[in-house]
Amino acid sequence: MVDLRVDLGGLVVCNPIMPASGTFSEGLEQVVDFNQLGAFVTKTVTRERRGGNPTPRVAETSSGMINSIGIPSDGIPYFIDHTLPFYRRFATPLVVSISAPSIEGFASLAADLSRDGVAAIEANISCPNLEEDGRAFAMSARATEAVVRRLRDATALPLWVKLTPNVGEIADIARAAESAGADVLTVANTILAMAIDTETFLPRVGNVMGGLSGPAIKPIIVRQVFQCARAVRIPIIGCGGIMNATDAIEYLLAGASAVQVGTATFVHPAALTTIIDDLTAFLVRRGIERVGALVGAVRLTSPEPVETLVAAS
């Protein structure tokens, strides 16, 4: 009845709802009908096997959680031999999230993963650039431009670039990624945060600082999606604190063409499919035929005459 399809840089997905990298895994097929999802997004994969950060790796905070998982990875051979065949069983397109400490590392990973069964690459550039100052690529427009340009040469697949929210002017980074050839921007990764246990005086995650996710970050990331949507022409995927369909709709109104859902899945394992159902019900109830009609539809001027607003305040 309603058309939920969206075009994400040449990859047309059947609906705009998908998991956020690192918050979704193979076992979830017990509770979620994988074929209903707009796409799969894998946990970030690195070339080598990597352990994670020291424990504890997760701490709950008010309206959110801090994680310092640290991208543990089984490496590329395992990914190709085990993870890819698992996802090939489903009709849902597979987006592979990649990370590397150098530009060439990113490019060679993208080239090696541009193979059958992979529908798009999501470059997680919120990782340290070890060839320069160790700051995340996505913290500088110049480093973003350099890594995305090289990635663009390395793969013909749709190239999604995931930004960090830990910057002053995210629109500048978005423009740099677009001009270097990104097809889609994912906005955004977690917000750098810290929590301290007042009994032990120890940081609550083993790596001292970690990434804040969940409802606590949603208004900040909605603002960044809005800013990015005004700065670039390529589609944006909103990600941060989406717990239900209303949150997803808010992101679409701010300018996102699709959304990724992370922390909500830890709270309600079937959150993704509930959001798809409730988004569909919203569109039917409002008589909106295409989900695309919501994208960027925020109204910045009130339909009410100013005098009415003043009288009501």
The Cα 21–Cα 100 span in angstroms is 15
**The one among 261, 276, 283, 294 contacting ligand FMN by CB under 6 A:** 261
Least distance between ligand FMN and beta carbon 72 (Å): 9
Closer CB to ligand FMN, 221 or 234, in the complex: 221
Length of the chain: 313
Verify binding: residue 20, ligand FMN, rule CB under 6 A: yes
Closer CB to ligand FMN, 71 or 180, in the complex: 71
The Cα 164–Cα 157 span in angstroms is 22
Catalytic residues, by residue number, are: 127
Least distance between ligand FMN and beta carbon 34 (Å): 18
Site map (CB under 6 A) of ligand FMN, residues 113-152, x = contact = -----------x----------------------------
Beta strands in the chain (DSSP E): 6-8, 11-13, 17-19, 40-41, 58-61, 64-67, 94-98, 120-124, 159-163, 184-187, 191-193, 210-213, 236-239, 258-261
Verify binding: residue 69, ligand FMN, rule CB under 6 A: yes
**The one among 2, 11, 37, 71 contacting ligand FMN by CB under 6 A:** 71
Closer CB to ligand FMN, 217 or 252, in the complex: 217
In this structure, what is the dihedral angle of CA atoms 259, 265, 271, 276, given to the nearest 10 degrees? Answer: 30
DSSP assignment string, 223-260? HHHHHHHHH-SS-EEEESS--SHHHHHHHHHHT-SEEE
Closer CB to ligand FMN, 69 or 194, in the complex: 69
The Cα 267–Cα 269 span in angstroms is 6
Verify binding: residue 22, ligand FMN, rule CB under 6 A: yes
Give the HSE-up count for residue 311: Cα atoms under 13 Å, Cβ half-sphere: 5
Show contacts with ligand FMN in window 32-61 (CB under 6 A): 43-44
**The one among 136, 157, 184, 242 contacting ligand FMN by CB under 6 A:** 242
Task: Bin 80: left if φ > 0, else alpha if -120 < ψ < 50, else beta.
Answer: alpha
Q: Which residues bind ligand FMN (CB under 6 A)?
A: 20-23, 43-44, 67, 69, 71, 97, 124, 162, 189-190, 213-214, 217, 239-242, 261-264
